[in-house]
């Protein structure tokens, strides 16, 4: 192969185009793959956040329905209006185990303003008379309408509803409150999705001593010192791998964010986090989510590989086709012209060029054949002249 031949140059140009084309396509597909992976990961975090919101709304509806039934109970209403704690406890206590089995872990009655103290805790009857001074308390005193939302108490984070209780004259006799620990939500979410979750609480909103006491009561390890800025309220995994986070919970965007994508064996996971706000809109916690995206991720990767192979093979076939066409239409015919010209000069005056087409090379063949005939004629005349001399 001659390096300065047109054939070589065309081949080099085609190879360069192939390399550039494949390189460009690979880069484009890698970019597209990275974007799709990120979108998939974000969608996973977003999906978990939506599921959490759905569970929140469902449980709020449930607690409102329970409270509707409760305030219809005249005996309970009267006992509360009379501030007869033993009678109220006797009436309500039989109901509490059933509510607890339905996830309602907190049930409280509060005295009306201005005192606004805890009158009775069904989940801890011995403790009463304290003032919680929470945002929900302030809000219901202001509106006398149902207030719902997440409220971080000293020892834990719960979704709560609080509503006024009226006597027969329509006077507010106090408030009743129901709550569900948010920690139990993550287990319900895991049951529905198979994903793993971890619930964090910002230490700024949790009382240290209360956390230690509640840890002892619940017989869980006091994990206060595990992280500098947050405590793990609950998680669905045995290990703490999903809880690695060094950022500021307050800086986590409302729509959540993807922390990382990682492999574990043949599986691909994404780990994300989304914030949890309290009733005042403050970021008091966050939820980690770990989702196995292997099926979609690996399918995307497989599609990418197939596409790259198809494109490379197509380009190679196209390049081969161009080379074959060039060889048949141009180079092969040019070589024949050169061969005939060489033979004519070598003395074979009968070698003729057959015109195979009327294309550009065909015109050259025709021209050369005419030239050859003129040349042979001149040589014949020259030979005759030489013989005469």
Partner 1 sequence: MSQLNDLKIRIEEKIAADGLDPVATRGKIGLKSGRLLSFINATTPDDPAAIAKMKIAIKEVLNINV
Residues at the contact surface with partner 1, assessed by CB under 8 A: 339, 341-348, 379, 382
Closer CB to partner 1, 220 or 339, in the complex: 339
Residues 215, 208: Cα–Cα separation, whole Å? 11
Closer CB to partner 1, 114 or 347, in the complex: 347
Residues 75, 87: Cα–Cα separation, whole Å? 9
Closer CB to partner 1, 191 or 347, in the complex: 347
What tokens were used for 364? 């050259």
Contact 63, 178 (CB under 8 A): yes
Token pair 């995206």 in the structure block, residue: 293
Backbone phi and psi for residue 179, each to the nearest 5 degrees, phi listed first: -150, 150
Contact 203, 229 (CB under 8 A): yes
- CB of 9 vs partner 1, minimal distance in Å: 23
- CB of 347 vs partner 1, minimal distance in Å: 5
- Terminal CA-CA length for the chain: 48
Residues 99, 245: Cα–Cα separation, whole Å? 35
Closer CB to partner 1, 367 or 380, in the complex: 380
Closer CB to partner 1, 145 or 379, in the complex: 379
Residues 25, 23: Cα–Cα separation, whole Å? 5
- What is the DSSP code (8-state) at residue 53? H
Number of continuous H segments (helices) and E segments (strands) in the chain: 10, 10
- CB of 341 vs partner 1, minimal distance in Å: 7
- CB of 385 vs partner 1, minimal distance in Å: 12
- CB of 351 vs partner 1, minimal distance in Å: 8
Closer CB to partner 1, 331 or 375, in the complex: 375
Strand partners for 262: 269
- CB of 346 vs partner 1, minimal distance in Å: 3
């Amino acid at each position: 192969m001659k390096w300065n031949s047109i054939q070589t140059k065309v081949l080099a140009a085609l190879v360069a185009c192939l390399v550039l084309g494949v390189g460009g396509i690979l880069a484009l597909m890698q970019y597209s793959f990275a974007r799709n992976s990120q979108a998939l990961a974000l969608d996973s975090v977003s999906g978990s956040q939506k599921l959490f919101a759905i569970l929140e709304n469902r449980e709020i509806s449930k607690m409102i329905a329970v409270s509707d039934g409760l305030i219809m109970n005249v005996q309970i209403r009267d006992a509360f209006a009379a501030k007869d704690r033993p009678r109220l406890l006797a009436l309500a206590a039989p109901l509490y185990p059933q509510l607890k089995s339905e996830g309602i872990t907190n049930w409280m009655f509060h005295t009306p303003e201005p005192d606004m103290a805890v009158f009775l805790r069904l989940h801890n009857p011995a403790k009463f008379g304290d003032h919680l001074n929470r945002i929900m308390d302030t809000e219901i005193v202001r509106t006398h309408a149902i207030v719902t939302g997440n409220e971080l108490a000293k020892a834990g984070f719960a979704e709560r509803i609080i509503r006024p209780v009226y006597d027969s004259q329509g006077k507010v006799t106090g408030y009743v409150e129901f709550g569900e620990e948010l920690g139990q939500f993550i287990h319900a979410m895991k049951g529905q999705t198979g994903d793993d979750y971890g619930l964090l609480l910002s230490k700024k909103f949790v009382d240290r001593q209360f956390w230690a006491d509640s840890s002892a009561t619940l017989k869980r390890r006091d994990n206060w010192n595990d992280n500098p800025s947050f405590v793990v309220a609950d998680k669905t995994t045995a290990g703490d791998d999903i809880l690695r986070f060094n950022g500021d919970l307050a800086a986590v965007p409302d729509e959540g964010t993807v922390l990382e994508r990682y492999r574990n064996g043949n599986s691909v996971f994404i780990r994300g986090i989304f914030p949890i706000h309290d009733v005042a809109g403050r970021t008091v916690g966050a939820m980690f989510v770990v989702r196995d995206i292997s099926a979609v991720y690996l399918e995307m990767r497989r599609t990418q590989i197939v596409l790259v192979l198809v494109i490379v093979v197509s380009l190679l076939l196209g390049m081969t086709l161009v080379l074959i066409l060039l060889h048949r239409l141009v180079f092969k015919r040019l070589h024949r012209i050169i061969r005939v010209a060489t033979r004519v000069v070598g003395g074979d005056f009968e070698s003729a060029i057959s015109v195979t087409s009327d294309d550009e090379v065909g015109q050259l063949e025709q021209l050369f054949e005419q030239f050859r005939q003129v040349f042979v004629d001149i040589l014949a005349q020259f030979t005759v002249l030489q013989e005469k001399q």
